Chains A and B, each alone.
Chain A
Amino acid sequence: MEDMIQMDRTISTQQDIKIEAKGVQVFYGDNHAIKDVDVNIADKTVTAFIGPSGCGKSTFLRCLNRMNDTIDICRVEGDILLDGEDIYDPKVDPVQLRAKVGMVFQKPNPFPKSIYDNVAYGPKIHGLARNKADLDEIVEKSLRKAALWNEVKDRLNAPGTGMSGGQQQRLCIARAIATAPEVLLMDEPCSALDPIATAQVEELIDELRQSFSVVIVTHSMQQAARVSQKTAFFHLGNLVEFDDTDKIFTNPQDSRTESYISGRIG
């Protein structure tokens, strides 16, 4: 059984490159937050970013859909290519980019609207549904994918803020996948959840891999080992090591990686 999973992973990592980052530097004012990072993120793969707090993994994640644009003092240098196109090109509209590269945040942040409207929000603003029936279908499909449909199908008009934390986070995931993104960025999606909700979200991430490329930032090394095929280890703004998850956790090349995964730093 174990071998089968291993094989599965090896096959699934032989995919096209979805996002290619070359020489990425990020500055917050005078603070050099990300130093010369190169990463290739493969399609239909889960890539995990691990590292101690403040190492820049979330900052780097937010570069991938230009969420850092909303922070005035933040400056990004280097190239990030999505399907071979530079996302920091002046011609690129960050709004369109974010429709392709969805994001799930650390704290569940459902809008103070009904469950239905939360999920329908993205499809509505991007005009993905031609009529109400279409929209209904998208909402149902997204909620099913997020393993939430059975729990909420009878109360789609109830406010999204009234659900439990785990349900809220799955609602946010449903909301993100309703816009049919190509890449899904997840910034510590389980840090506010209990172990049961975490397990549900992890299972979900594994299923999402069929349709999207998923990038997940996590503090939990067990989580990275469970859900990802590729792992990147960040330390003090540097990308220390990036390889297959098995290799990072069983046979790390860099001594810093080894210290971190064995709990000596971080």
Chain B
Amino acid sequence: MQSLTLPLLVILGLTISGYFLAKTRALQVAGGDIRKLVSLPKQHALNTVLATAIPPVAAILLFSVYNRLTEGTGSWLFTLVVIALAVTGFALSLIGIKVQTRARTFAERWILGLLIFASTIAILTTVGIVFSMLFETFNFFEQYDWKHFFFSTSWSPNFRGDSDLGIIPLLWGTLYISLIALAFAVPIGLFAAIYLSEYAGSRMRSVAKPAIEILAGIPTIVYGLFALITVGPFLRDYFASPMGLGQSASSVMTAGLVMGIMLIPFVSSLSDDIINAVPQAMRDGSFGLGATKSETIRQVVIPAALPGIVGAVLLAASRAIGETMIVVLGAGAAARLSMNPFEAMTTVTVKIVSQLTGDTDFASPETLVAFALGLTLFVITLGLNVFALYIVRKYREQYE
């Protein structure tokens, strides 16, 4: 780290002085008459700043990636190259200041490069995540039969080896809990959205909308506590026990219900925006034909907004599938394949955590299975997101 201090200080110094030097020099070459310059002094200054700072900073990033890959450390050569880059950029852009220099165009190009770099980072991160998962997943499948992983219906990891690591019970728990959560969140969220966008007055709306969105800001661990101490015992005492469906406070129902509450603002907020985006002309057309408000909403507004609403629901679904904390506290950690919604079950995400936090050897299949589970989950949610995006995009072309 120490080797970075000097080059960074040099870059900073050159950048600041470059800013003022470029301004002065630009005025100088123009003989004090700003109108003679093709580009304004501040544009020359911006160009100098960017040309001085960007190449060496980019070099630092590249070198650190390179060092990470080759396990090497920084050397004096690297420091020298970085400083040389900064000085070159500084000098070239200052010497280049003439009356005819198009500093504006150059600066725009530097900025374009920066923007491309920023978006590349976001995309590369996704690719990086996939590759890191793929790597460990391959290791896992070298030690464990993939057919067993995907098709075995039992999950019982064993410290002595000889574990059953079938994903099906976990996948079942994930889908069961997500389905209950969606069955709860979609109608409530959608009805709330319809009320807010079509019926509520502006004052009611300005109060109710943020109030619903508060739900989205609650940390999921707090939802988990709510499930653990309130919803779970309540469901057990008033539903599960009387109906003879079990004595467990942690259950699929508990987790699903609480997760559903968490998802309400997702569904309602997105649907509200989408319903509001349906042109007023559609409603006018329907009213003009003598349709009532509810006929208009049911037969014109909702069908027009439907693709967007489906997109919102799918986004909520991928949230539900990835949720961990509520499941740990609400549904427990026992992998089970059962239809009874009042029984404890668990999900893929919970098992990822428990497999990685155990005492087992990192290279054992019991630990590596976490990566295979993670990758499977990633593929499922990615598929859902792509599908949601596709539907939302199709919806945009609906009018005109």
Binding site for B on A (CB under 8 A): 65, 67, 70, 95-100, 102-105, 107, 109-113, 121-122, 125-126, 161, 172, 175-176, 179
Contact = CB atoms under 8 A, between A and B. Distances in A.
Nearest to B283: A70
B288 A112 contact: no
Given A112-B399, A121-B299, A67 B290 contact: no
Contacts of A121: 286, 289, 291, 299-300
Interface of B: 279, 281-292, 295, 299-300, 303-304, 398-400
Contact of A65 (B279, B283, B286, B288): B288
A104 B288 CA distance: 8
A95 B290 contact: yes
Contacts, number: 74
Contacts of B300: 111, 121
30 contacts: A67-B287, A70-B283, A70-B287, A95-B290, A98-B287, A98-B288, A99-B290, A105-B285, A105-B288, A107-B281, A109-B279, A109-B281, A109-B282, A109-B284, A109-B285, A111-B285, A112-B282, A121-B299, A121-B300, A122-B289, A122-B291, A125-B291, A125-B292, A125-B295, A125-B299, A126-B290, A161-B398, A161-B399, A172-B285, A175-B289
Contacts of A103: 284, 288-289
A240 to B, nearest CB: 28
A110 B398 CA distance: 11
Nearest to B284: A105
A121 B295 CA distance: 10
State the main secondary structure of chain B at its contact with A. helix
A161 B279 contact: no
A140 B334 CA distance: 63
Ranked 3 nearest A-B pairs via Cβ? A99-B290, A103-B288, A109-B281
A103 B288 CA distance: 5
A172 B285 CA distance: 8
A180 B279 CA distance: 26
A96 B295 CA distance: 13
Nearest to A124: B299
Nearest to A69: B287
Contacts of A172: 285
A70 B281 CA distance: 12
Contacts of B295: 125
Nearest to A100: B290
Contacts of A126: 290
B384 to A, nearest CB: 25
Contacts of B285: 105, 109-111, 172, 175
Given A121-B299, A125-B295, A161-B400, A111 B290 contact: no
Contacts of B398: 112, 161
